[in-house]
A and B are shown apart, each in its own frame.
Chain A
Amino acid sequence: MKSTPLRLRVNGKTIETMVEPNQRLLDFLRDELRLTGVKEGCGVGECGACTVIMNGQAVNSCLVLVGQANGADVLTVEGLAEDGELSPLQQSFIDHGAVHCGFCTPGMVMSAQALLMKNPKPSRSEIKTALSGNLCRCTGYQQIVAAVEGVIKKVGADSAK
């Protein structure tokens, strides 16, 4: 197995390094970059805990070979806060009690973030569709959908001020 060169952007920083060719993007983010907000649940694309945004789209980082991310722009949950302040979406998850054990939360937040980047005013059914690849064993999903709806209303209200 020959290690291969990798160049990509992660949370706005350009990274150039050598990687093992059979690493998943998930392993690279967690083990090499220590971005442990990216979680491994099922490892087979079913749970969404490993969701990151790659070139503007939510993807399961457990199903991406690291080499396939060459040249990509990757955003993880660690990239959302600015100057130590949680993003409005993250804050809304807390305010709506959408975080219980928290294992699914980074993936949920990234799926919601990907939706809002594409569609700033999604309907409830669009929110549900966007979160349909993320499993949560604790909340029953209501609070999570409410958290996403909450941030849409809040951002709307703030910009109307």
Chain B
Amino acid sequence: MKEFDFVRAGTLSEALEFLAVRHTATRVIAGGTDLMITLRRNDPSWPGPGYILDLTGLDCLRGISREGDRIRIGALTTHTQLAESPLLKDKVPFLSAAAFSVGSPQIRNRGTIGGNIINASPAADTLPPLLALEARCRLVSREGERDVSLTELLTGPYRTSLRPQEILKEVYFQIPGEGTGFSFQKVGRRKALSISRLSVAVLLSLVEGQVGKARVAVGAALANAARLPEVEEFLEGRLLDRDVAQEAGKLAAEKVVEITGRRWSTPYKEPVLLALVRRALLAAGAPQSP
């Protein structure tokens, strides 16, 4: 285990003040389910942080609330809270489903949405539904707040545009209209061979079978979880049936291979991604989809 001093923030302004002065030497910790593993890794090229700043005492960063036509989720909200929230289960069930698919009960009880976002793993499970919802993130520092889209925040595998003095405070999105369909599909386990991991989140608004708005985001396929705009454009205006879902799946697989290039894992990922996109579209398009 690395050596460091431990500081537990009592208030948000205390945490921001600490970061303003000591950000170069500090790492913040939330649930620790990603960071603890990094801190214990025997990596001689990384001295470790001078300070660990614990955010878990900041109750103001926890919780899910509705504000008008928006839902906001505090960064310290755990996967268990996301999975059990009646508001999320009602309005954006694919986000609760994604949170419920994370790790194990113990991991969901500690791991937070903020940690999932800022860790920025290509396979982070809450990211595809948040991207499909066009979520925005509120970042705070002693100097003030700024909002960025989740897409802008994610800059590469395990990299974000969060500045070292900043904390992710909350993430928010517009509540989709009545009649929107959702689906989150995932295959593979985290520890299983990484080629066998993939996830897809779909948000669809349908009027008599015709696709109005379509949002399709994939996880563990690209450097970061990301939307596939070409697939969304292909879908919009079409009547959703098995053939269209199949075509969209094919297009999704093609686009991913176009971006990543052919790799040793491609022969596996291509058909699985196609099948997942097709399945997600049909599930989201079905009335009262889960």
Contact = CB atoms under 8 A, between A and B. Distances in A.
A63 B33 contact: yes
How many A residues are at the interface, by size bracket? 20 to 34
B152 interface: no
A133 interface: yes
Interface in A7-66: 21-22, 24, 43-46, 48, 51, 57-60, 62-65
B244 to A, nearest CB: 34
A45 B5 contact: no
A157 interface: no
B191 to A, nearest CB: 6
A130 interface: yes
A67 B106 contact: no
Given A22-B4, A22-B6, A45-B37, A68 B29 contact: yes
B40 A43 contact: yes
A70 B33 contact: no
A59 B106 contact: yes
B142 interface: no
B286 interface: no
B42 to A, nearest CB: 12
B106 A58 contact: yes
Contacts of A62: 36
Interface string B67-109: 0000000000000100000000000000000000001111101
Interface string B104-145: 111101100000000000000000000000000000000000
A45 B33 contact: yes
Contacts of B185: none
A65 B54 contact: yes
Contacts, number: 86
A111 interface: yes
A2 interface: yes
> Among B3, B57, B105, B191, which residue has the most Cβ atoms of chain A within 10 A?
B105
Given A1-B5, A22-B2, A64 B109 contact: no
A21 B51 CA distance: 10
A129 interface: yes
B36 A46 contact: no
Contacts of B6: 4, 21-22, 65, 67
A57 B8 contact: no
B105 A132 contact: yes
Given A60-B110, A70-B8, A111 B105 contact: yes
Nearest to A27: B1
Interface residues of B, number: 28
B4 A21 contact: yes
> Among A21, A44, A60, A130, which residue has the most Cβ atoms of chain B within 10 A?
A60
A67 B5 CA distance: 10
A57 B80 contact: yes
A4 B193 CA distance: 40
> Among A51, A63, A114, which residue has the most Cβ atoms of chain B within 10 A?
A63
B52 interface: yes
A105 B79 CA distance: 25
A62 B4 CA distance: 17
A114 B104 CA distance: 13
A158 B39 CA distance: 48
Contacts of A70: 8, 57
A59 B8 contact: no
A45 B105 contact: no
B103 A133 contact: yes
A45 B106 contact: yes
Given A21-B6, A22-B3, A63 B109 contact: no
Give the 9 A-B CB pairs with smallest separation, nearest first. A133-B104, A21-B6, A67-B6, A57-B109, A133-B106, A63-B36, A60-B106, A1-B3, A22-B1
24 contacts: A22-B6, A24-B1, A44-B37, A45-B33, A45-B103, A51-B106, A59-B109, A60-B106, A60-B110, A62-B36, A63-B31, A64-B110, A65-B32, A65-B36, A65-B54, A67-B54, A68-B8, A68-B29, A68-B54, A68-B56, A70-B8, A132-B105, A133-B107, A134-B104
